[in-house]
Amino acid sequence: MNWQLNEFLKSALAEDLGRGDITSEVLIPENLKAKAVFLFKEEGVVCGLPQVQALFRLLAADEFQSIREEGQLVPAGTAVAKISGSARCLLAGERVALNLLQHLSGIATRTRRLAALLTPYKAKLTDTRKTTPLLRSLEKYAVRVGGGKNHRFGLDDAVLIKDNHLTLVDVKTAVARAREVIPHTMKIEVETENAREVLDALEAGADIIMLDNMPPGQMAQMVELIAGRAIVEASGGITAQTIVEVAQTGVDYISVGSLTHSVKAIDISLDFQ
Tens digit of each residue's pLDDT (9 = 90 or more) over 60-104: 999 999 999 999 999 999 999 999 999 999 999 999 999 999 999
Burial class for 12, CB neighbours closer than 10 Å (0-12, 13-18, 19+): buried
Q: Which of 94, 212, 233, 252 is catalytic?
A: 212
Task: Tell me which of 33, 41, 122, 162 is the catalytic residue.
Answer: 162
Q: From the candidates 57, 68, 130, 136, give the one annotated as an active-site residue.
A: 130
Mark whether 162 is an active-site residue.
Answer: yes
**Residues of the chain with confidence (pLDDT) below 50:** none
Domains of the chain: 3-111+264-272 (3.90.1170.20), 116-261 (3.20.20.70)
Asked if 187 and 158 count as a contact pair (C-beta separation under 8 A), the reply is yes
Per residue in 114-143, pLDDT (tens digit) is: 999 999 999 999 999 999 999 999 999 999
**Catalytic one among 70, 127, 189, 191?**
191
Q: Of the residues 35, 57, 68, 95, which is catalytic?
A: 95
| Known catalytic membership, residue 95 | yes
CA distance 208 to 233: 7
Report the candidate in 104, 108, 35, 42 with the shortest Cα–Cα distance to residue 77: 42
Backbone φ and ψ of 124, nearest 5°: -105, 140
CA–CA dist 115, 155 (Å, integer): 25
42 as an active site residue: the answer is no
Q: Is residue 212 among the annotated active site residues? A: yes
Model confidence, pTM = 0.94
pLDDT given at position 184: 80
